[in-house]
Amino acid sequence: MVYSAIHNQFWKEEWFAGGFIWKWFHKHDKVGGSNDNRFTPQNKPAEATIRKLYQEN
């Protein structure tokens, strides 16, 4: 998973201040999901990965 790779590689670097999650929609319950092909991690396995990575830090 690309989110884990970016986190593991750059999170502890002094120059790294975070990242930007592309396409985060305000109507969370109406977007994403397994049949959605848009560039959003919402309601997809990637969202759980992002949540877990931020909870660890």
Read off the pLDDT of residues 5-45 as tens digits, 9 standing for 90 and up.
989 999 899 999 888 888 889 988 889 998 989 889 999 99
C-alpha–C-alpha distance, residues 54 and 38, integer Å = 23
pTM beyond 0.85, yes or no: no
Q: Please give the structure tokens belonging to residue 45.
A: 């396995």
Q: Quickly tell me which residue has 């305000």 as its tokens.
A: 26
Sign of CA dihedral 2, 26, 29, 36: negative
* pLDDT for res 21: 82
**Alpha-carbon dihedral of residues 2, 8, 31, 23, nearest 10 degrees?**
-80
CB 2 within 8 A of CB 22: no
Does residue 47 carry a pLDDT above 90? yes
